[in-house]
Amino acid sequence: MANLASGIYAAGLAVLATLAGSPVGFAQEANYDEAKVPKFRLPDLLKTESGEQVTTPEQWVGQRRAEVLGLFEEHVFGKLPEGDFQLRTRVRSDVRDAIGGLAHRREVTVFLTADDDGPKLELLIYTPVGGTGKVPAFLGLNFNGNQAIEADPRLHLTESWVRNNRELGIENNRASEATRGSEASRWAVEKIVKAGYGLVTLYYGDIDPDFDDGFKNGIHAFLRKSAGPRTGNEGGSISAWAWGLSRVLDVLQTDSEIDASRVAVFGHSRLGKTSLWAGAMDERFAMVIANNSGCGGAALSKRAFGETVGRINRVFPHWFCVNHSKYNENEQALPLDHHMLVALAAPRPVYVTSAVEDEWADPRGEFLGLYYAGPVYTLFGREPLPSDVMPELNQPVMTDMAYHIRTGKHDVTDYDWEQFLKFADKHLR
């Protein structure tokens, strides 16, 4: 693949400087100048480790895909230990008047062992009222507990650890009534069910609490054989969250209202990184959507623009494997880049998004991560992005790959969901 120099990008979209979603001290040191992006060369997606050129889908499926997946297991996300689990479900609530009567809503507890006191996941499932047959659905993790999706007092308050959120008046790490509906603006449930889709969500803290405690809690405590330090390539929180999404898909295989063969995995921010990794590891997901996923997600690490590998590892050492820290301030030594992560979704449809005020996530890097995954889509006869020129604001490009950069900040908006639904209509109907 040709050299990618900073000069290539100098004429790219000029985005507004912002510290949204970033640690202030680190953000002030970050590079937001395209002229200062270092020269770099992306690894060739279609060249095997033995130097052979991949020219057929069979070569990708039979060899190269496993090599690329292994690179991310070894150098970025790590691999979780094998563990025995026994999935059981129990319905907590079942109502047919949710969202103003538009949605059938279920709360379902998923037990991972035969012990009711063992690890469990709490699902929140919406499907359209009055639908006939199984519907396609979106599956994604939420940040504050299922009760944050809507303000209905009937929803069960999460019992898992939650992030301290002083803006909501919470002074401890337990959910409170103040969290009800606090994430509603990010989940366009009414639009989703009106369009004939289901929505399945669960709190990411049910799977693994989002803090660095040596992995004594969450699914790691269940899967790990040792309480000692992680090995270099042992998976962190992102691998755990992705593992949990696959267990939900296991459950949906037997659901009476959702077609598990038409489930799009969705995530925002750190959970956008997670959706990409979940879609890479589990090819049963029919579509992959990563919203504002930034460093460690769709953005190219070697650009060292906005949040970098060193900054993300210092602030969130539990997200990635220990080996990932070898590339702190050393991105050019990475034997991969994140166009390769996006390519692991092929040939399934994939959507990457950016926000113009979210420079910390490197919108241009996110776009290029998607664009340079294109050769694998071409290999399968799918249609990649038509150009390496970023589209104008609020002008989505949709082929078998999709991208938009919208006005606004690091967030999920109704505009985003409107585009996701259009893309799903093209590929999941």
Number of domains in the chain: 2
Q: What is the DSSP string of 259-304?
A: EEEEEEEEEETHHHHHHHHHHHH-TT-SEEEEES--TTTTS-GGG-
pLDDT over 70, % of the chain = 91
- The CA dihedral of 373, 398, 129, 98, to the nearest 10 degrees, is 70
Whether pLDDT at 414 is above 50:
yes
pTM for the predicted model, two decimal places: 0.93
Residue 422 contacts residue 406 (beta carbons within 8 Å): no
**pLDDT of 139-151, one tens digit each?**
999 999 999 999 9
On whether both 253 and 137 belong to a single domain, the answer is yes
On whether both 71 and 93 belong to a single domain, the answer is no
**Residue 269 catalytic?**
yes
Catalytic residue among 104, 268, 410, 427: 410
On whether both 214 and 136 belong to a single domain, the answer is yes
Which pair of tokens denotes residue 268? Answer: 């925002």
pLDDT over 90, % of the chain = 84
Q: 10 Å Cβ neighbour count for 91?
A: 11
Whether pLDDT at 40 is above 90:
yes
Residue 216: inside a domain, yes or no? yes
Residue type present at position 202:
L
Return mean pLDDT, the chain: 92
Domain limit, last residue, from 260, 275, 308: 260
Catalytic residue among 22, 269, 293, 354: 269
Domain limit, last residue, from 205, 239, 260: 260
Range of the domain at 339: 6-75+293-410
Q: What is the pLDDT of residue 169?
A: 61
